[in-house]
Chain A
Amino acid sequence: MSRHSLACILPPDLLVELARGADPQRQGALLRTMELDHSFRQVRAELAGRRGPQISRLTAGGGVPHRMIYDQAHSTSSHLGTLARAEGQGPVADASINQAYDNFGYTYTLYWDVFHRDSIDDQGQEIDGLVHFGTNYDNAFWDGAGHMFFGDGDGQLLTDTTKGTDVIGHELTHGVTQHEANLTYAGQSGALNESISDVFGSLVKQYHLGQSADKADWLIGADIVGPELSPALRSMKDPGHANPHDNQPASMDGYVHTSSDNGGVHTNSGIPNHAFYIVATTLGGNAWEAPGQIWYDTLTSPRLQPNATFTRFATLTLRQARQRYGATSREADAVRTGWDAVKVRV
């Protein structure tokens, strides 16, 4: 034991000096220590060599995404297709590949610039986008295993889903949510999961365009809808009126009880969506600042449990607003105003 301790503490030169003046028995122990010490140092040097590139990547990599865009070539396989564009490579001939690459970049930038978050897991996770999934596939989804799939659309309901900055921000945010609160994808916690993706998807777009809360359109999916769902999929400003088939409620008065879509996760998300819109427009300025920060603080709070209800989430947003901006701050007042407007008790 003591030999190992010596090996960890004493420099080789000092061990040699000690061995010179020691009795034969002590000299033997010190020489064995030196051998061990040499082995340890060699191992350490090897490990340092292996870690070197990772350390430099982490040091230089914070603030730089690691995007990998794959061409699924209309396959419905969930395995990675052909790598079409990797981080740092220039544009390719395929517009969908480039759109996915760029929109992931805008998403990463919002999370890094504003919330100092390094990718999906805050540890620089690779961002994998799988483009041209299926044939005329009118959807985009997060698979729960680190991959985001994008269809080309059927041209009627949806068009190329990679075109939507908010769509890509929405899907990547599902990954962030999974790594943080891991909100259960059903009922109210599922609707919160969906709403958080809409909120940050919208913030990605607003930040990229430099739009303040009063200039933003607060529409979701406006860039990817086909004629059947035009002009947008959802409206955070006016839930239920984004398109002729939009049935989102704007308050708890219209909460929809259904077994469809995991308990209406894309329907009842209109309620917390509208609360965020009210908070943002009540405060004015840029929505990614105080409103976004409060929502992000809530999402990353250990107090937010996977089975959170609207009331629990709302209460936590108020708590975070008070904690960061003060109990009597206008930010805290705005949060209360937002939840009051949608009739969620805090």
Chain B
Amino acid sequence: MQLRYRRSGGFAGTTLAADVDGSQLSDADGRLAGQLLTEPAAFRASGAPVPPGAADLTEHRLEVSEGRRSQSFRWTDLDVPDAVRPLLATLRGLAKPV
């Protein structure tokens, strides 16, 4: 399984990137990554839509792929599902500015 994470925007405006092999993840993160691939609808969005006029929100883009299967996700700070936050925190820790 491969994970491609890109974080952009935010007040800093710095883009961070991490390309991670699933074997690098903890069991919990690996299970979640698997769920993202098999049950994507459950993680598409959560909470209320971002109000118009919002600024400096961080945008998270994540692509999870394995073989022929691939799923892409796009969240902001305000609509990241709580269940995904630990995985994003892991990916954030591995990401570097580009």
Contact = CB atoms under 8 A, between A and B. Distances in A.
A83 B37 CA distance: 41
Interface stretch (B21-29, B45-53, B65-73): B45-53
Contacts of B51: 143-145
A141 B97 contact: no
Given A185-B55, A194-B55, A260-B8, A267 B13 contact: yes
Interface string A136-175: 1011111111000100001001100100000100110010
A260 B11 contact: no
B54 interface: yes
Contacts of A122: none
B50 A161 contact: no
A14 to B, nearest CB: 54
Contacts of A197: 55
Given A138-B10, A157-B14, 11 more contacts: A135-B89, A139-B56, A139-B57, A140-B11, A143-B57, A157-B97, A171-B11, A174-B55, A178-B53, A229-B12, A262-B9
Contacts, number: 109
Given A178-B53, A261-B59, A266 B78 contact: no
B97 A261 contact: no
A311 interface: no
B2 interface: no
A221 interface: yes
Contacts of B82: 76
